[in-house]
Structure 1
Amino acid sequence: MKIGILSDTHMIKDCIDKTIPYLKECDLIIHAGDNFSDSKYIHNMTKVGIMAVKGNCDFDNVEDELIFDVEDKVIFLCHGDKYNVKYGLDEIEAKAKSIDADIVIFGHTHTPLNLKKDNIIYINPGSVSLPRGVDYKSFSIINLENNNIRIEQIRL
């Protein structure tokens, strides 16, 4: 299964549009918030199923975190602001361990991260519109095949 992961798109359609050719090839798209309305736009442009949460800049009446299974992997999706990810991963790690997550996807920092710690994979795709801490815009694609996880960072 091929999963596209974005966060912190902030309604900048020119930047989002650059991701569409990649995302059309995915089986699922995950959006980690800011802005939730962008997930609807992405779905309309790709016709691919999407899982999305709201971020700290969203006012939609939708979930701010989700836990779901894909290919026998437990995925925890949140924006990250409620777990203070700008100041470290301690709080989100505690949550991940408490729910036996295999993969944690979050945003908020606008800085890409791909880290495996204690058999949990933490992914922040960065931002396709307003990156911080790096000089490139980015999102991620995960390939889940036969219990093998391959993560690719796409730089725009």
Structure 2
Amino acid sequence: MKVLIVSDSHGLEDELQTIAKRHEQDTDMKIHCGDSELDPAHPALAPYHTVKGNCDFYADFKDEMMIQIGSRKLFFTHGHLYGIKQSLLNVYYKANELGADIICFGHSHIAGSELMDGKLLINPGSIRLPRVRKDKTYAILSIDNDQATVRFYNLDGHEIESLTNHYEMSPNS
């Protein structure tokens, strides 16, 4: 199972469509972790499950979503409601409460992934305004049983190998 993860596109349209089309055949699902700044009915968001960010002003977006990917539960939100710029604990606790194995969020515009007490946390960075690094990024999560790989790509679709991580996740019961 492969999930394309984007966030913080801040008004970009063509780029969202290009990324979705580029990975149309090699991903099973596409999510947007908020701050698209587009109307929920905008064609650029059509391939994505999208949540509301702090710069999204349309009432039709949900603040968070939970989706099943294979035997795993993926919780995603923008992150501003959980204070992710200060700490990841609040979003971790919420995911734990919901029984999620994977947590995706944006807001900080900082690409990265980590395993925290058995839960995989992923921030795809921003395809418009990256922070910490100059690359405008998105991510693809691959899950095969208890093995997870998070790969990051720049806007041109080239993998940023220094950000790629492989994780051994806890077996699902």
- Bin for the TM-score computed over the shorter chain: 0.7 to 0.9
Quick one: structure 1 residues 152 and 95, their matched pair in 2 at CA, closer, same or farther if it must change by over 3 Å?
Answer: same
What is the alpha-carbon root mean square deviation over aligned residues? 1.9
Indicate conservation of the 8 Å contact 1:8/1:108, yes or no. Answer: yes
> Which moved further from structure 2: 20-29 or 84-93?
20-29
Q: Work out the CA distance in 1 between the residues paired with 2:85 and 2:39.
A: 23
Task: Report the 3-state secondary structure (helix = DSSP H, G, I; strand = E; otherwise coil) of the residue aligned with 1:139.
Answer: strand
Which position in structure 2 is the counterpart of 1:59?
57
Which 5+ residue runs of structure 1 have no aligned equivalent? none
Does the aligned pair in 2 maintain the 1:111–1:127 contact within 8 Å? yes
Consecutive aligned runs of 4 or more in structure 1 exceeding 4 Å deviation: none
Query: Is structure 2 residue 43 aligned with structure 1 residue 41?
Result: yes
Q: Report the equivalent of 1:82.
A: 81
Cα 1:27/1:42, change in 2 over 3 Å: farther
Judge conservation of contact 2:105–2:122 (CA < 8 Å) in 1: yes
Letter matched to residue 7 of structure 2: S
| Gapped regions of structure 2 (runs ≥ 5) | 156-173
The answer for the alignment partner of 2:12 in structure 1 is: 12
In 2, Cα distance between equivalents of 1:54 and 1:73 = 23
| Number of residue pairs matched by the alignment | 152
Partner of 1:144: 143
* Counterparts of 2:6 and 2:137, CA distance in 1: 8
Aligned-residue offset at 1:21? 4.1
Cα gap change, 1:148 to 1:18, in 2 (>3 Å)? same
Residue in structure 2 matched with residue 115 of structure 1 by the alignment: 114
Report the Cα offset of residue 14 of structure 1: 4.8
8 Å Cα contact 2:20/2:30 also seen in 1? no
Would the alpha carbon gap of residues 135 and 129 (structure 1) be closer, same or farther in structure 2, given more than 3 Å must change? same
Task: Please name the residue that 1:31 is paired with.
Answer: 32
Distance 1:138 1:123 in 2: 12
* Aligned residues of 2:12 and 2:36 also touching (Cα < 8 A): no
After superposition, give the CA deviation of every residue in 1:54-94 in whole Å (9 maximum; x if it has no partner): 10111112211012211011111100000001112121121
How far 1:122 moved relative to its partner?
0.3
